[in-house]
Amino acid sequence: MDKKDLMYGIGAILIILLIALVIKPAMTGQPVNTGIPVATTSPTMVTVNVSDVTPVTPIITPITPITPITTSPTPTPVPTWDASVKSVEFVNPSTYNVSFNETLPAGTRFDSVMLNTSMSSYAKIDGQYSGTTQTIDIPFPYWELVYTVAPVPSTQAAKVQITPAKGEGLSYSGYDGSYSTATPSLTVQVMDANDPNRIVRTITPPGGIDLDLWTGVKKTVTADYSNRPTNQQKSTTADIKTTDPRPWTEKFYEGQRSYYFIINAQGLESYSLDIKVPSKYIGKY
């Protein structure tokens, strides 16, 4: 037997021992038989006399619930409007960084549907010249601005002369008259006191201010028909039928805030601004 055969024999013996001692017990669930005795411990029974045991009484400490202290702030009562008319005074324009030498920015005028409800005066502004008012708080969700003007009366009625066609060939016609150079005007800017850069609305009387037109002044009309036949000559009188539009009303649906007013007036004897609110608001705001 040579050395190679000896090695094969030893390897076969080791494989058989491995299968018998390790693989087979592992597959059958038995402990590996290494030939070494396993130490075992026998349990020792201990007998305890119940009378020798001292009972322990548990100590229970009651837990006191902690009630959080909450303090409710006392609301400040808001006084309701007592239906008395407030007076709004004028202040220095520099309070709002306003200069009347600057061109007034244009605003947007909103027309709304008239409400069928009674109104009460909340505040009034009366004056004659340009100025800015103090800040006024309007705590109502809806309010109206009713305003009127009294322009300076004209010294004399305007005169108009109608020049009809004359002669044959090229005809011409025209109007000759005298007019006042001082045109009355009123512009009211409603400003948001919380945002001075925001113009709520710019208000001007629709159609301008024309006292003669409102009062129905008759303008004397002189017509020259000398070049026409006698049966075609006639005199003309201009009868003007108008209605005084004063006062004007602006409606605001964005109340419950503070405002101030920038007023530009020219050629007026006086103007009046009346802030009105629905009578049903009295005692509620």
Along the 285 residues of the chain, how does pLDDT read in single tens digits? 677 888 888 888 888 888 777 777 777 766 666 666 655 666 666 665 656 666 667 677 767 677 767 777 777 787 888 888 989 999 888 888 888 776 666 666 666 655 546 999 999 999 999 999 999 999 999 999 999 999 987 644 445 454 554 444 444 444 455 544 578 999 999 999 999 899 999 999 998 998 888 877 665 555 555 565 555 545 444 555 668 889 999 999 988 999 999 999 999 999 999 999 999 888 888
| Token couple for 172 | 């011409």
Partners of 167 in beta bridges: none
The verdict on residue 104 lying in a domain is yes
Domain count, the chain: 1
Instruction: Categorise residue 35: left if φ over 0, alpha if ψ from -120 to 50, beta otherwise.
Output: left
The verdict on residue 29 lying in a domain is no
Alpha-carbon gap, residue 48 to 41, rounded angstroms = 22
- Burial label, 273 (beta-carbon count in 10 A; 0-12, 13-18, 19+): buried
Please give the residue range of the domain that contains residue 99. Answer: 86-281
The verdict on residue 192 lying in a domain is yes
Q: What is the pLDDT of residue 39?
A: 59
Alpha-carbon gap, residue 234 to 52, rounded angstroms = 148
The verdict on residue 46 lying in a domain is no
Give percent helix, percent strand, percent coil of the chain, each to the nearest 5.
Answer: 15, 30, 55
The verdict on residue 267 lying in a domain is yes
Which pTM value belongs to this model? 0.50
The verdict on residue 30 lying in a domain is no
The verdict on residue 62 lying in a domain is no
Alpha-carbon gap, residue 211 to 240, rounded angstroms = 13
Alpha-carbon gap, residue 193 to 198, rounded angstroms = 9
Rg of the chain, C-alpha, whole Å? 53
The verdict on residue 116 lying in a domain is yes
